[in-house]
Structure 1
Protein backbone atom coordinates (compact mmCIF):
# COMPACT_ATOMS: atom_id res chain seq x y z
CA UNK A 1 0.00 0.00 0.00
CA UNK A 2 1.43 3.39 -0.91
CA UNK A 3 1.63 6.35 1.42
CA UNK A 4 -0.97 8.35 -0.47
CA UNK A 5 -3.50 5.53 -0.36
CA UNK A 6 -2.93 5.19 3.40
CA UNK A 7 -3.49 8.93 3.94
CA UNK A 8 -6.85 8.62 2.12
CA UNK A 9 -7.95 5.49 3.98
CA UNK A 10 -10.57 5.23 6.74
CA UNK A 11 -8.00 3.70 9.11
CA UNK A 12 -5.82 6.82 8.96
CA UNK A 13 -8.78 9.15 9.63
CA UNK A 14 -9.89 6.97 12.58
CA UNK A 15 -6.41 7.13 14.11
CA UNK A 16 -6.23 10.93 13.65
CA UNK A 17 -9.69 11.33 15.24
CA UNK A 18 -8.70 9.09 18.19
CA UNK A 19 -5.48 11.11 18.66
CA UNK A 20 -7.37 14.45 18.61
CA UNK A 21 -10.02 13.21 21.04
CA UNK A 22 -7.33 11.76 23.33
CA UNK A 23 -5.42 15.08 23.26
CA UNK A 24 -8.57 17.07 24.09
CA UNK A 25 -9.44 14.73 26.97
CA UNK A 26 -5.88 15.00 28.29
CA UNK A 27 -6.03 18.85 28.11
CA UNK A 28 -9.38 18.99 29.97
CA UNK A 29 -8.14 16.58 32.68
CA UNK A 30 -4.92 18.58 33.04
CA UNK A 31 -6.84 21.87 33.28
CA UNK A 32 -9.17 20.45 35.95
CA UNK A 33 -6.26 18.94 37.92
CA UNK A 34 -4.27 22.23 37.85
CA UNK A 35 -7.35 24.18 38.96
CA UNK A 36 -7.81 21.89 41.97
CA UNK A 37 -4.16 21.61 43.02
CA UNK A 38 -3.29 25.32 42.61
CA UNK A 39 -6.49 26.61 44.29
CA UNK A 40 -7.46 28.53 41.18
CA UNK A 41 -9.66 31.61 41.76
CA UNK A 42 -9.07 31.44 45.51
CA UNK A 43 -8.11 34.79 47.03
CA UNK A 44 -7.24 35.71 50.59
CA UNK A 45 -6.63 39.37 51.33
CA UNK A 46 -3.42 39.94 53.32
CA UNK A 47 -4.22 41.78 56.58
CA UNK A 48 -2.28 44.79 57.84
CA UNK A 49 0.16 43.36 60.38
CA UNK A 50 2.07 46.54 61.22
CA UNK A 51 2.56 47.25 64.94
CA UNK A 52 1.35 43.75 65.90
CA UNK A 53 3.33 41.39 68.12
CA UNK A 54 4.36 37.95 66.85
CA UNK A 55 1.63 36.23 68.92
CA UNK A 56 -1.05 38.49 67.39
CA UNK A 57 0.39 37.93 63.91
CA UNK A 58 0.38 34.16 64.41
CA UNK A 59 -3.26 34.14 65.58
CA UNK A 60 -4.42 36.43 62.78
CA UNK A 61 -2.66 34.49 60.02
CA UNK A 62 -3.74 31.10 61.42
CA UNK A 63 -7.39 32.16 61.06
CA UNK A 64 -6.75 32.96 57.38
CA UNK A 65 -4.72 29.76 56.76
CA UNK A 66 -1.57 31.79 55.99
CA UNK A 67 1.95 31.34 57.30
CA UNK A 68 4.73 33.81 58.14
CA UNK A 69 8.49 33.96 58.31
CA UNK A 70 10.57 36.56 60.14
CA UNK A 71 13.20 37.78 57.72
CA UNK A 72 15.11 40.40 59.67
CA UNK A 73 15.12 43.06 62.31
CA UNK A 74 15.39 46.63 61.16
CA UNK A 75 16.87 49.60 62.94
CA UNK A 76 14.99 50.40 66.13
CA UNK A 77 12.02 52.68 65.46
CA UNK A 78 10.60 54.28 68.63
CA UNK A 79 7.24 54.86 66.87
CA UNK A 80 6.58 51.10 66.83
CA UNK A 81 6.21 48.80 69.84
CA UNK A 82 9.22 46.61 70.67
CA UNK A 83 9.39 43.37 68.66
CA UNK A 84 6.42 44.35 66.50
CA UNK A 85 6.05 44.19 62.71
CA UNK A 86 7.52 47.15 60.81
CA UNK A 87 7.25 45.81 57.23
CA UNK A 88 5.57 42.91 55.51
CA UNK A 89 5.77 41.30 52.08
CA UNK A 90 3.31 40.99 50.35
CA UNK A 91 1.82 44.31 51.38
CA UNK A 92 -1.46 44.63 53.27
CA UNK A 93 -4.43 44.42 50.92
CA UNK A 94 -2.72 42.15 48.37
CA UNK A 95 -4.45 38.90 47.42
CA UNK A 96 -2.72 35.54 47.93
CA UNK A 97 -3.64 31.86 48.06
CA UNK A 98 -3.91 29.80 51.24
CA UNK A 99 -0.74 28.58 52.97
CA UNK A 100 1.23 31.46 51.44
CA UNK A 101 4.12 32.81 53.55
CA UNK A 102 4.10 36.44 54.63
CA UNK A 103 7.64 37.73 55.17
CA UNK A 104 8.02 40.07 58.16
CA UNK A 105 10.59 42.63 59.34
CA UNK A 106 10.50 43.25 63.10
CA UNK A 107 11.34 46.23 65.28
CA UNK A 108 14.20 45.33 67.66
CA UNK A 109 13.66 45.69 71.39
CA UNK A 110 16.16 48.57 71.65
CA UNK A 111 18.68 50.61 69.72
CA UNK A 112 21.75 48.63 68.73
CA UNK A 113 24.86 49.03 70.85
CA UNK A 114 27.75 51.06 69.45
CA UNK A 115 31.35 50.93 70.66
CA UNK A 116 32.82 54.14 72.07
CA UNK A 117 35.88 55.22 70.02
CA UNK A 118 39.09 56.63 71.55
CA UNK A 119 38.66 60.40 71.15
CA UNK A 120 41.19 61.52 73.77
CA UNK A 121 43.25 64.43 72.37
CA UNK A 122 40.80 65.31 69.59
CA UNK A 123 39.16 68.70 69.39
CA UNK A 124 35.59 69.22 70.53
CA UNK A 125 34.50 69.71 66.91
CA UNK A 126 36.23 66.54 65.64
CA UNK A 127 34.87 64.44 68.49
CA UNK A 128 31.33 65.81 68.06
CA UNK A 129 31.38 65.02 64.34
CA UNK A 130 32.65 61.48 64.88
CA UNK A 131 30.17 60.72 67.67
CA UNK A 132 27.24 62.04 65.61
CA UNK A 133 28.40 60.06 62.55
CA UNK A 134 28.31 56.76 64.43
CA UNK A 135 24.88 57.47 65.95
CA UNK A 136 25.31 59.24 69.29
CA UNK A 137 23.85 62.56 70.44
CA UNK A 138 26.09 65.20 71.99
CA UNK A 139 25.02 66.62 75.33
CA UNK A 140 25.26 70.30 76.21
CA UNK A 141 26.67 69.62 79.67
CA UNK A 142 30.41 70.15 79.05
CA UNK A 143 32.80 69.62 81.95
CA UNK A 144 36.09 71.53 81.86
CA UNK A 145 39.29 70.29 83.50
CA UNK A 146 42.65 71.98 83.84
CA UNK A 147 44.57 71.17 80.66
CA UNK A 148 46.94 72.92 78.26
CA UNK A 149 44.64 72.28 75.28
CA UNK A 150 41.50 74.38 74.95
CA UNK A 151 38.40 72.39 73.94
CA UNK A 152 40.46 69.20 73.64
CA UNK A 153 38.63 66.01 74.66
CA UNK A 154 39.93 64.56 77.93
CA UNK A 155 37.06 62.15 78.59
CA UNK A 156 33.47 61.18 77.84
CA UNK A 157 30.51 60.70 80.19
CA UNK A 158 27.08 59.20 79.94
CA UNK A 159 24.57 59.98 82.71
CA UNK A 160 27.47 61.00 84.94
CA UNK A 161 29.42 57.77 84.41
CA UNK A 162 32.92 57.96 82.90
CA UNK A 163 33.22 56.12 79.59
CA UNK A 164 36.29 54.24 78.40
CA UNK A 165 37.18 53.50 74.75
CA UNK A 166 35.60 50.15 73.85
CA UNK A 167 32.57 50.59 76.14
CA UNK A 168 29.22 50.16 74.42
CA UNK A 169 26.13 52.35 74.56
CA UNK A 170 22.84 52.20 72.68
CA UNK A 171 22.54 54.26 69.53
CA UNK A 172 21.13 57.78 70.18
CA UNK A 173 22.58 57.83 73.72
CA UNK A 174 23.56 61.31 74.92
CA UNK A 175 27.27 61.68 75.55
CA UNK A 176 28.74 64.59 77.52
CA UNK A 177 32.33 65.63 76.89
CA UNK A 178 35.06 66.41 79.39
CA UNK A 179 37.19 69.13 77.78
CA UNK A 180 40.41 70.94 78.53
CA UNK A 181 40.10 74.58 79.59
CA UNK A 182 43.35 75.77 77.94
CA UNK A 183 44.70 77.20 81.20
CA UNK A 184 46.62 74.19 82.51
CA UNK A 185 50.29 73.24 82.11
Structure 2
Protein backbone atom coordinates (compact mmCIF):
# COMPACT_ATOMS: atom_id res chain seq x y z
CA UNK A 1 0.00 0.00 0.00
CA UNK A 2 2.85 2.37 0.80
CA UNK A 3 4.34 1.70 -2.65
CA UNK A 4 1.10 2.65 -4.37
CA UNK A 5 0.78 5.79 -2.28
CA UNK A 6 4.40 6.72 -3.17
CA UNK A 7 3.80 6.19 -6.90
CA UNK A 8 0.68 8.37 -6.74
CA UNK A 9 2.35 11.06 -4.69
CA UNK A 10 2.90 14.51 -6.15
CA UNK A 11 6.47 14.56 -4.83
CA UNK A 12 7.54 11.65 -7.07
CA UNK A 13 6.07 13.12 -10.23
CA UNK A 14 7.44 16.56 -9.44
CA UNK A 15 10.92 15.04 -9.14
CA UNK A 16 10.46 13.06 -12.38
CA UNK A 17 9.39 16.26 -14.16
CA UNK A 18 12.40 18.11 -12.80
CA UNK A 19 14.74 15.34 -14.01
CA UNK A 20 13.21 15.40 -17.51
CA UNK A 21 13.49 19.19 -17.69
CA UNK A 22 17.10 19.07 -16.42
CA UNK A 23 18.04 16.41 -19.02
CA UNK A 24 16.43 18.44 -21.80
CA UNK A 25 18.30 21.57 -20.71
CA UNK A 26 21.60 19.67 -20.52
CA UNK A 27 21.04 18.15 -23.99
CA UNK A 28 20.15 21.55 -25.46
CA UNK A 29 23.20 23.18 -23.84
CA UNK A 30 25.63 20.51 -25.02
CA UNK A 31 24.20 20.57 -28.55
CA UNK A 32 24.41 24.37 -28.69
CA UNK A 33 28.01 24.31 -27.46
CA UNK A 34 29.02 21.65 -30.00
CA UNK A 35 27.36 23.57 -32.84
CA UNK A 36 29.17 26.73 -31.77
CA UNK A 37 32.50 24.95 -31.31
CA UNK A 38 32.43 23.04 -34.59
CA UNK A 39 30.59 25.83 -36.47
CA UNK A 40 28.23 23.28 -37.96
CA UNK A 41 26.88 24.49 -41.28
CA UNK A 42 29.78 26.90 -41.90
CA UNK A 43 31.66 24.62 -44.33
CA UNK A 44 33.97 26.42 -46.77
CA UNK A 45 35.63 25.03 -49.91
CA UNK A 46 39.40 25.62 -49.95
CA UNK A 47 40.43 27.54 -53.11
CA UNK A 48 43.27 26.58 -55.45
CA UNK A 49 46.23 28.77 -54.47
CA UNK A 50 48.84 27.18 -56.73
CA UNK A 51 51.16 29.68 -58.49
CA UNK A 52 49.68 32.67 -56.62
CA UNK A 53 52.09 34.96 -54.81
CA UNK A 54 51.74 35.13 -51.02
CA UNK A 55 49.70 38.36 -50.92
CA UNK A 56 47.23 37.02 -53.50
CA UNK A 57 46.85 33.80 -51.53
CA UNK A 58 46.24 35.69 -48.26
CA UNK A 59 43.56 37.83 -49.94
CA UNK A 60 41.84 34.77 -51.45
CA UNK A 61 41.77 33.06 -48.04
CA UNK A 62 40.59 36.14 -46.12
CA UNK A 63 37.68 36.55 -48.52
CA UNK A 64 36.58 33.07 -47.40
CA UNK A 65 37.33 33.74 -43.71
CA UNK A 66 40.29 31.34 -43.75
CA UNK A 67 43.78 31.95 -42.37
CA UNK A 68 47.11 31.67 -44.24
CA UNK A 69 49.92 29.91 -42.42
CA UNK A 70 53.39 29.51 -43.94
CA UNK A 71 54.43 25.90 -43.44
CA UNK A 72 57.92 26.22 -44.95
CA UNK A 73 59.84 27.17 -48.04
CA UNK A 74 61.01 24.35 -50.28
CA UNK A 75 63.86 23.77 -52.68
CA UNK A 76 63.55 26.21 -55.56
CA UNK A 77 61.31 24.80 -58.30
CA UNK A 78 61.92 26.44 -61.69
CA UNK A 79 58.48 25.27 -62.86
CA UNK A 80 56.82 27.77 -60.48
CA UNK A 81 57.19 31.56 -60.30
CA UNK A 82 59.53 32.83 -57.60
CA UNK A 83 57.72 33.49 -54.33
CA UNK A 84 54.59 31.65 -55.46
CA UNK A 85 52.61 28.93 -53.70
CA UNK A 86 53.75 25.46 -54.76
CA UNK A 87 51.82 23.40 -52.23
CA UNK A 88 48.98 23.79 -49.75
CA UNK A 89 47.28 21.79 -47.01
CA UNK A 90 44.40 21.10 -47.00
CA UNK A 91 44.38 20.77 -50.80
CA UNK A 92 42.05 22.80 -53.00
CA UNK A 93 38.50 21.48 -53.05
CA UNK A 94 38.63 20.26 -49.45
CA UNK A 95 35.82 21.35 -47.11
CA UNK A 96 36.85 23.07 -43.87
CA UNK A 97 35.37 25.24 -41.11
CA UNK A 98 35.55 29.02 -40.99
CA UNK A 99 38.83 30.26 -39.51
CA UNK A 100 40.77 27.10 -40.43
CA UNK A 101 44.52 27.71 -41.04
CA UNK A 102 45.64 26.75 -44.58
CA UNK A 103 49.32 25.77 -44.59
CA UNK A 104 51.30 27.09 -47.54
CA UNK A 105 54.63 26.05 -49.03
CA UNK A 106 56.31 28.90 -50.91
CA UNK A 107 58.83 28.75 -53.73
CA UNK A 108 61.99 30.65 -52.66
CA UNK A 109 62.66 34.02 -54.27
CA UNK A 110 66.20 32.89 -55.07
CA UNK A 111 67.32 29.46 -56.14
CA UNK A 112 70.04 27.84 -54.10
CA UNK A 113 73.35 27.99 -55.94
CA UNK A 114 75.16 24.73 -56.63
CA UNK A 115 78.75 24.04 -57.58
CA UNK A 116 79.42 22.68 -61.06
CA UNK A 117 80.95 19.24 -60.48
CA UNK A 118 84.32 18.19 -61.88
CA UNK A 119 83.57 17.33 -65.52
CA UNK A 120 86.73 17.95 -67.55
CA UNK A 121 88.11 14.70 -69.02
CA UNK A 122 85.02 12.80 -67.94
CA UNK A 123 82.92 10.91 -70.47
CA UNK A 124 79.75 12.44 -71.83
CA UNK A 125 77.58 9.85 -70.09
CA UNK A 126 79.19 10.47 -66.70
CA UNK A 127 79.09 14.26 -67.13
CA UNK A 128 75.37 14.19 -67.96
CA UNK A 129 74.67 11.98 -64.94
CA UNK A 130 76.66 14.23 -62.60
CA UNK A 131 74.96 17.40 -63.86
CA UNK A 132 71.40 16.06 -63.73
CA UNK A 133 71.91 14.53 -60.27
CA UNK A 134 72.96 17.99 -59.02
CA UNK A 135 69.84 19.60 -60.47
CA UNK A 136 71.36 21.15 -63.60
CA UNK A 137 69.99 20.76 -67.13
CA UNK A 138 72.16 19.61 -70.03
CA UNK A 139 72.02 21.89 -73.05
CA UNK A 140 73.76 21.89 -76.41
CA UNK A 141 76.55 19.43 -77.15
CA UNK A 142 79.40 20.83 -79.24
CA UNK A 143 82.17 18.71 -80.75
CA UNK A 144 85.73 19.92 -81.35
CA UNK A 145 88.91 18.18 -82.54
CA UNK A 146 90.30 16.26 -79.56
CA UNK A 147 91.85 12.82 -79.23
CA UNK A 148 89.32 11.62 -76.63
CA UNK A 149 85.96 10.80 -78.19
CA UNK A 150 82.95 12.00 -76.16
CA UNK A 151 85.27 13.37 -73.46
CA UNK A 152 84.42 16.74 -71.87
CA UNK A 153 86.83 19.43 -73.04
CA UNK A 154 85.01 22.57 -71.88
CA UNK A 155 81.92 23.68 -69.94
CA UNK A 156 79.76 26.65 -70.93
CA UNK A 157 76.82 28.64 -69.59
CA UNK A 158 75.04 30.92 -72.08
CA UNK A 159 77.88 30.36 -74.52
CA UNK A 160 80.58 31.49 -72.07
CA UNK A 161 83.19 29.10 -70.69
CA UNK A 162 82.97 28.53 -66.93
CA UNK A 163 85.17 26.76 -64.44
CA UNK A 164 84.49 23.73 -62.33
CA UNK A 165 83.35 24.56 -58.79
CA UNK A 166 81.68 27.80 -59.96
CA UNK A 167 78.21 28.16 -58.47
CA UNK A 168 74.99 28.56 -60.46
CA UNK A 169 71.30 28.34 -59.64
CA UNK A 170 69.68 24.95 -59.63
CA UNK A 171 68.10 24.33 -63.04
CA UNK A 172 70.77 26.26 -64.97
CA UNK A 173 71.45 24.82 -68.44
CA UNK A 174 75.03 23.63 -68.87
CA UNK A 175 76.50 23.23 -72.36
CA UNK A 176 79.19 20.61 -72.92
CA UNK A 177 82.09 20.80 -75.37
CA UNK A 178 83.19 17.26 -76.26
CA UNK A 179 86.05 15.67 -78.15
CA UNK A 180 85.20 14.18 -81.54
CA UNK A 181 87.99 11.57 -81.47
CA UNK A 182 90.60 10.82 -84.09
CA UNK A 183 88.34 10.43 -87.10
CA UNK A 184 85.24 12.09 -88.54
CA UNK A 185 82.94 9.29 -87.49
CA UNK A 186 79.29 9.19 -88.48
CA UNK A 187 76.48 7.67 -86.44
CA UNK A 188 73.06 6.22 -87.30
CA UNK A 189 70.15 8.66 -87.01
CA UNK A 190 67.87 7.52 -84.13
CA UNK A 191 64.22 6.73 -84.78
CA UNK A 192 62.20 9.37 -82.90
CA UNK A 193 58.67 8.81 -84.17
CA UNK A 194 56.05 7.84 -81.55
CA UNK A 195 58.19 9.43 -78.77
CA UNK A 196 57.06 12.25 -76.49
CA UNK A 197 59.16 15.42 -76.57
CA UNK A 198 61.15 14.66 -73.41
CA UNK A 199 61.82 11.10 -74.58
CA UNK A 200 63.07 12.39 -77.93
CA UNK A 201 65.36 14.90 -76.16
CA UNK A 202 66.85 12.13 -74.02
CA UNK A 203 67.44 9.81 -76.97
CA UNK A 204 69.15 12.60 -78.93
CA UNK A 205 71.34 13.42 -75.94
CA UNK A 206 72.40 9.79 -75.63
CA UNK A 207 73.24 9.77 -79.36
CA UNK A 208 75.39 12.95 -79.01
CA UNK A 209 72.92 14.96 -81.10
CA UNK A 210 71.18 18.29 -80.41
CA UNK A 211 67.52 19.14 -80.63
CA UNK A 212 66.91 21.69 -83.38
CA UNK A 213 63.53 23.19 -84.26
CA UNK A 214 60.38 21.85 -82.60
CA UNK A 215 57.32 22.31 -84.83
CA UNK A 216 53.84 21.68 -83.40
CA UNK A 217 50.90 20.58 -85.51
CA UNK A 218 48.38 23.41 -85.94
CA UNK A 219 45.41 21.24 -84.92
CA UNK A 220 46.57 19.75 -81.60
CA UNK A 221 43.58 18.93 -79.37
CA UNK A 222 45.27 17.23 -76.41
CA UNK A 223 48.79 18.39 -75.54
CA UNK A 224 49.28 15.41 -73.20
CA UNK A 225 49.16 13.04 -76.18
CA UNK A 226 51.59 14.75 -78.56
CA UNK A 227 54.37 12.64 -80.04
CA UNK A 228 56.96 12.98 -82.80
CA UNK A 229 55.56 12.16 -86.24
CA UNK A 230 58.34 13.51 -88.44
CA UNK A 231 62.03 14.28 -88.10
CA UNK A 232 64.86 15.74 -90.12
CA UNK A 233 67.34 14.17 -90.80
CA UNK A 234 65.25 11.07 -91.40
CA UNK A 235 65.95 7.98 -89.30
CA UNK A 236 68.68 5.75 -90.65
CA UNK A 237 70.25 2.43 -89.70
CA UNK A 238 73.42 3.41 -91.58
CA UNK A 239 75.94 5.94 -90.20
CA UNK A 240 74.74 9.27 -91.59
CA UNK A 241 75.07 12.09 -89.02
CA UNK A 242 78.00 13.68 -87.24
CA UNK A 243 78.06 14.12 -83.44
CA UNK A 244 76.59 17.45 -82.40
CA UNK A 245 74.29 17.73 -85.42
CA UNK A 246 70.86 19.33 -84.93
CA UNK A 247 67.68 17.33 -85.45
CA UNK A 248 64.34 19.03 -86.20
CA UNK A 249 61.15 17.31 -85.05
CA UNK A 250 57.41 17.71 -85.73
CA UNK A 251 54.81 16.94 -83.03
CA UNK A 252 51.14 15.96 -83.27
CA UNK A 253 48.36 14.20 -81.39
CA UNK A 254 46.99 12.76 -84.64
CA UNK A 255 48.59 9.33 -84.79
CA UNK A 256 47.38 8.73 -88.34
CA UNK A 257 50.13 11.11 -89.50
CA UNK A 258 52.89 8.81 -88.24
CA UNK A 259 54.42 6.63 -90.99
CA UNK A 260 54.07 2.91 -90.37
CA UNK A 261 57.81 2.22 -90.50
CA UNK A 262 58.72 1.50 -86.87
CA UNK A 263 59.35 -2.19 -87.53
CA UNK A 264 61.92 -1.35 -90.21
CA UNK A 265 64.00 0.78 -87.81
CA UNK A 266 63.33 -0.69 -84.38
CA UNK A 267 63.28 -4.37 -85.35
CA UNK A 268 65.05 -4.65 -88.72
CA UNK A 269 65.64 -8.39 -88.27
CA UNK A 270 61.89 -9.01 -88.10
CA UNK A 271 61.26 -6.76 -91.10
CA UNK A 272 63.93 -8.68 -93.11
CA UNK A 273 62.44 -12.05 -92.21
CA UNK A 274 58.97 -10.87 -93.23
CA UNK A 275 60.32 -9.54 -96.53
CA UNK A 276 62.13 -12.79 -97.19
CA UNK A 277 59.01 -14.79 -96.40
CA UNK A 278 56.95 -12.65 -98.77
CA UNK A 279 59.48 -12.86 -101.62
CA UNK A 280 58.44 -15.25 -104.43
CA UNK A 281 60.45 -18.48 -104.62
CA UNK A 282 62.30 -19.04 -107.93
TM-score using structure 1 length: 0.72
Q: Determine the C-alpha separation between the residues in 1 that align with 2:115 and 2:163.
A: 11
Look up the SS of the partner of 2:93 in the other structure: coil
Q: Determine the C-alpha separation between the residues in 2 that align with 1:174 and 1:89.
A: 32
Q: Determine the C-alpha separation between the residues in 1 that align with 2:152 and 2:48.
A: 49
Q: Is the 8 A contact 1:66 1:101 kept in 2?
A: yes
Q: Do structure 1's residue 36 and structure 2's residue 63 form an aligned pair?
A: no
* Unaligned stretches of 5+ residues in structure 2: 183-282
Question: Taking CA–CA contacts closer than 8 Å with sequence separation of 6 or more, which of the two structures ends up with the larger relative contact order?
Answer: 1
Q: Is the 8 A contact 2:67 2:102 kept in 1?
A: yes
Q: Is the 8 A contact 1:145 1:178 kept in 2?
A: no
Using the TM superposition, name which of 85-94 and 63-72 deviates more.
85-94
Structure 2 partner of 1:76? 77
Using the TM superposition, name which of 55-64 and 85-94 deviates more.
85-94
Look up the SS of the partner of 2:40 in the other structure: coil
Look up the SS of the partner of 2:122 in the other structure: coil
* Unaligned stretches of 5+ residues in structure 1: none
Q: Do structure 1's residue 133 and structure 2's residue 133 form an aligned pair?
A: yes
Structure 2 partner of 1:161? 161
Structure 1 partner of 2:65? 65
Using the TM superposition, name which of 65-74 and 136-145 deviates more.
136-145
Look up the SS of the partner of 1:128 in the other structure: helix
From the superposition, tell whether residues 26 and 90 of structure 1 become closer, same or farther in structure 2 (CA, over 3 Å).
Answer: same
Q: Determine the C-alpha separation between the residues in 1 that align with 2:78 and 2:173.
A: 17
Q: Is the 8 A contact 1:76 1:112 kept in 2?
A: no
Structure 2 partner of 1:142? 142
Q: Determine the C-alpha separation between the residues in 2 that align with 1:62 and 1:70.
A: 15
Q: Determine the C-alpha separation between the residues in 2 that align with 1:137 and 1:59.
A: 36
From the superposition, tell whether residues 99 and 151 of structure 1 become closer, same or farther in structure 2 (CA, over 3 Å).
Answer: same
Q: Determine the C-alpha separation between the residues in 2 that align with 1:37 and 1:140.
A: 61
From the superposition, tell whether residues 49 and 14 of structure 1 become closer, same or farther in structure 2 (CA, over 3 Å).
Answer: same
Q: Determine the C-alpha separation between the residues in 2 that align with 1:157 and 1:77.
A: 20
Q: Determine the C-alpha separation between the residues in 1 that align with 2:137 and 2:56.
A: 35
TM-score using structure 2 length: 0.51
| RMSD (Å), alpha carbons | 3.2
Look up the SS of the partner of 2:82 in the other structure: coil
